[in-house]
Amino acid sequence: MHEQTRAQLEAKEAELVAQMDQLAAPVQDQGSISFGKRVGDGTAMAVDRLTAVTAHDNLQALLTQVRTALAALDDGSYGRCIVCGEPIPEGRLQARPWATTCVRHG
């Protein structure tokens, strides 16, 4: 059971790292943020970059959960809520193998 869970978590970790690398890659043909010739050009570019930063932060948070779950597999605490110590329901772990909290604390 834990071998399958570890494989799922490692695959998710690799996926998240790849997505973060893609977001961090330099964007071609955009140059620096500046005001364009038309009203809103600079604003649209700034919004795009803020959206990318938010996406990166969300991916980083999920990656932290995945790595915490992998560490829990290593130390034998996988499947226990990190807040209250109660078992995390099996259905929750099947849906989100990286879950580190029970529903009440999630």
Contact assessment for residue 98 and residue 66, using Cβ atoms and an 8 Å cutoff: yes
**Domain boundaries in the chain?**
2-23+43-95
What does residue 27 show for φ and ψ, rounded to 5 degrees? -85, 130
Collapse the DSSP code of 29 into the 3-class scheme (helix H, G, I; strand E, B; otherwise coil) and give the result.
coil
pLDDT of res. 37: 62
- pLDDT by 10-residue block (mean), the chain, 106 residues: 93 96 69 56 75 89 97 97 96 96 93
